[in-house]
Amino acid sequence: MASVTMTVNGKSVSGDVEGRTLMSDFLRNDLRLTGTHIGCDTSQCGACVIHVNGEAVKACTMFAVEADGADVATIEGQANADGSLNVIQQAFQDHHGLQCGFCTPGMVMSAAALLKENPTPTEREVREYLEGNICRCTGYHNIVKAIMAASGQDVSAIAAE
Amino acid sequence: MYAFDIERPSTIADAVKALKDEDAQALGGGQTLIPTLKQRLAMPSALISLTGIGEMKGVCLADDGAVCIGGATTHATVAKEAAAHYPGLAGLAANIGDPAVRNRGTVGGSLANNDPSACYPAAALGSGATIITNTREIAADDYFQGMFETALEEGEVITEVRFPVPEKSHYQKFVQPASRFALVGVFVAKYADGVRVAVTGASENGVFRWSEAEAALSADFSAAALEGLTVSAGEMIADLHGSPEYRAHLVKVMTGRAVTAVA
Ligand SMILES: Cc1cc2nc3c(=O)[nH]c(=O)nc-3n(C[C@H](O)[C@H](O)[C@H](O)COP(=O)(O)OP(=O)(O)OC[C@H]3O[C@@H](n4cnc5c(N)ncnc54)[C@H](O)[C@@H]3O)c2cc1C
Ligand code: FES
Ligand code: FES
């Protein structure tokens, strides 16, 4: 066992983990932050995307030990301080960017990473950035639209809801 | 996964020492190794993480103009920091997998793994790069030895890769959409002393140089120069994504597109 200490959504947390403990398991089982979803566990689907030191990574393909000392952000820390949805989350709701919601935490975390890097992406750039996020429900269209809207761009010209 | 310990050394010397234990294995970005461990296809006693070693990270320029990339540098960093010096290489790094994979995966991990469909082997072979380890320097032409086979010895660590910068270069990747690896990828690089063409994704023997195309393009750097050439389907990969004949055909098409992109 190794002890790890990291900042998760602004709070310092510690725990004892095995070498093989995945970051996704540490978040879900030890910290009870179950918003980070496990869709595939094989680095394909992106439901588990979190930010480690500001970068989007797949929590199912990283060990908890590797996040020792890091600054981690998960979906649980995305809402505004008063508990209202942040601009990306609100845009997903407004534009029907989710159906079952399973992929949504990863989508929101990827979108946040994209908009930090590229505040006004083109539709093509949004689609390219979501290459590693799979959604079984929506057909992606409204997810792309929500992210474009969250970036402050006019999405009225993008086809049907 | 079987149980193992993880060590996070901060110097190459400490990593090399830890890797002397024959059951220890290097951990780069883990984007290939972690899935392998999950399938219980490997049983190391310890993983030696290389990503905390400062001297193995970053992109710089050597005195002779070559781009030097630390072995533990992520694809995302190469995409950003090599863009001004070697756009063909940065463009290749920018299209590996997806953003989250690029934030973790490293050049050293990709070259050590030598997946027959990986992108970096094409850049290294196509640039005539030098793979630098804790003990020696290996020319790319000697380094790749077939599917998942390389010249690396047990416990040897890729500390740096040195890429001579060509006048023009381009990587064309025909994406296999489920894996996001290359169904066929071709790296074309035009140097003052000739053109190099490296092909990944196609051959059962891993990355290879297409010497007929190199000769034709060295004489005339245009897609038209490839017209008379054919690629044998003999040792091409056959799987549900493409037949050997299809892959052989794609090699020529992708080479032409790479040349046209920069000619
Ligand atoms: C969804 C997905 C899509 C991908 N798409 C692509 C793609 O399009 N193109 C592509 O090329 N790759 C792709 N990859 C693979 C990715 O680039 C990996 O990052 C890479 O193959 C392995 O690098 P790593 O740093 O993660 O190595 P690891 O997984 O940590 O290690 C791989 C192997 O290399 C060894 N190793 C690691 N670093 C070193 C070193 N410095 N010296 C010696 N040995 C070392 C390890 O012991 C292990 O055997 C994809 C991966 C995923 C999960
Ligand atoms: S659960 Fe991590 S990528 Fe699917
Ligand atoms: S909303 Fe159901 S998987 Fe995306």
pLDDT tens for each residue of chain A, 161 residues long? 899 999 999 999 999 999 999 999 999 999 999 999 999 999 999 999 999 999 999 999 999 999 999 999 999 999 999 999 999 999 999 999 999 999 999 999 999 999 999 999 999 999 999 999 999 999 999 999 999 999 999 998 876 54
Domain membership of residue A156 (yes or no) is no
Cα–Cα distance for residue pair B192/A2, rounded to 1 Å: 53
ipTM for this prediction = 0.96
Q: Pick from B140, B163, B186: which residue ends a domain?
A: B163
Q: For chain A, what is the radius of gyration of the CA atoms?
A: 16
E-state strands within B4-116: 5-7, 24-27, 46-49, 59-61, 67-70
The pLDDT tens digits for A128-155 are 999 999 999 999 999 999 999 999 999 9
**Atom 4 in ligand 3: which residue has the minimum CA distance?**
A135
B107/B24 same-domain check: no
Which residues are within 8 A (CB) of B242 and not within 5 positions of it... i.e. 6 or more apart? B183, B184, B250
Q: Give the pairing type, strands B46-49 and B24-27.
A: parallel
Asked if the model's pLDDT at residue B254 lies above 70, the reply is: yes
Q: Do A61 and B46 touch (CB under 8 A)?
A: no
Query: Tell me, what's the pLDDT at A158?
Result: 78
pLDDT of amino acid A46: 98
C-alpha distances out from residue A48 to A41, A113, A136, B34, B117, Å: 9, 14, 15, 15, 25
Say which residues have a Cβ less than 8 Å from residue B250's Cβ, sequence separation at least 6: B174, B183, B184, B202, B242
- Under a CB-based contact definition with an 8 Å cutoff, are residues B119 and B111 in contact? no
**Tally of structural domains, chain A:** 2
Q: In what order do the strands lie in the sheet with B182-191?
A: B168-175, B182-191, B194-200, B208-209
- Which A residues, 5 through 24, put their C-beta within 8 Å of a C-beta on chain B? 18-20, 22
Residues A93 and A123 in one domain: yes
What is the CATH number for A95? 1.10.150.120
Look at A58 and B104 and tell me if their CB atoms are within 8 Å. Answer: yes
Where is the domain boundary, B133, B163, B193?
Answer: B163
Task: Please identify, among A54, A77, A100, the residue that sits at the C-terminal boundary of a domain.
Answer: A77
Domain of A104 in residue numbering reads as 87-150
What's the number of domains chain B is made of? 3
Is a pLDDT exceeding 80 seen at residue B240? yes
Answer whether A97 touches B (CB < 8 Å): no
Best CA proximity match to A27, nearest among A50, A43, A10: A50
Q: How far is CA B35 from the centre of its chain?
A: 19
Evaluate whether residue A82 is within a structural domain. no
Q: Is residue A161 part of a domain?
A: no
H or E element that contains A108: helix A104-117
Per-residue pLDDT at A27: 98
pLDDT tens digits, one per residue of A94-104 = 999 999 999 99
Dump pLDDT digits (tens) for B135-148. 999 999 999 999 99
Lateral strand order in the sheet of A71-73: A11-17, A2-8, A71-73, A49-52, A55-58
Cα(A111) to ligand 2 centroid in Å equals 16
User: Which residue, judged by its Cα, is nearest atom 43 of ligand 1?
Assistant: B157
Alpha helical stretches, state H, B114-201: 120-127, 140-143
pLDDT of residue A157: 80
Distance CA A71, CA A78 (A): 14
Could you tell me if A124 lies within 8 Å of chain B, comparing CB atoms? no
The CA angle B69-B49-B137, to the nearest 5 degrees, is 40
**Whether residue B178 has pLDDT greater than 90:** no
A43 and B34 within 8 Å at the Cβ level: the answer is yes
Of A107, A94, A99, A103, nearest to A156 by C-alpha is A94
> What CATH number is attached to the domain comprising B105?
3.30.465.10
CB contact under 8 A, A62 and B2: no
Nearest to B31 among A43, A113, A114 (CB): A43
Select the residue of A22, A65, A131 nearest B98 (Cβ to Cβ): A131
Dist. CA B76 → ligand 1 center (Å): 13
Q: Are residues B173 and B157 in the same domain?
A: no
Shortest distance between the Cα of B99 and any Cα of chain A, in A, equals: 6
Specify whether B127 is located in the same domain as B206. no
- The confidence band for B179, taking pLDDT boundaries of 50, 70 and 90, is confident
Percent of chain B with pLDDT over 70: 100
* Domain housing B86: 56-163
Are A91 and A68 contained in the same domain?
no
Q: Measured between alpha carbons, how far is B16 from B26 in angstroms, rounded to an integer?
A: 9
pLDDT digits (tens, 9 = 90+) for B96-139: 999 999 999 999 999 999 999 999 999 999 999 999 999 999 99
User: Could you tell which of B102, B107, B110, B179 is best to mutate to test the pocket of ligand 1, judged by most ligand atoms within 8 Å of the CB?
Assistant: B110
Instruction: Give pLDDT, residue A77.
Output: 98
CA of B124 to the centre of ligand 1 (A): 15
Rounded to the nearest angstrom, the minimum Cα separation between B127 and chain A is: 27
Of A144, A153, A151, give the one whose Cα is nearest residue A161: A144
Mean pLDDT of B191-211: 97
Residues A50 and A102 reside in one and the same domain: no
Nearest to B100 among A2, A18, A49 (CB): A49
A15 and A72 in a single domain? The answer is: yes
Residues A54 and A18 in one domain: yes
Q: Any idea what the CATH number is for the domain that residue A66 is in? A: 3.10.20.30
Same domain, A61 and A117: no
DSSP B245: H
Tell me the residue type at B68: C
Say yes or no: CB of residue B207 within 6 Å of ligand 1. no
Pick the last residue of a domain from B163, B180, B199: B163
Task: Characterize the bridge pairing of strands B67-70 and B24-27.
Answer: unpaired
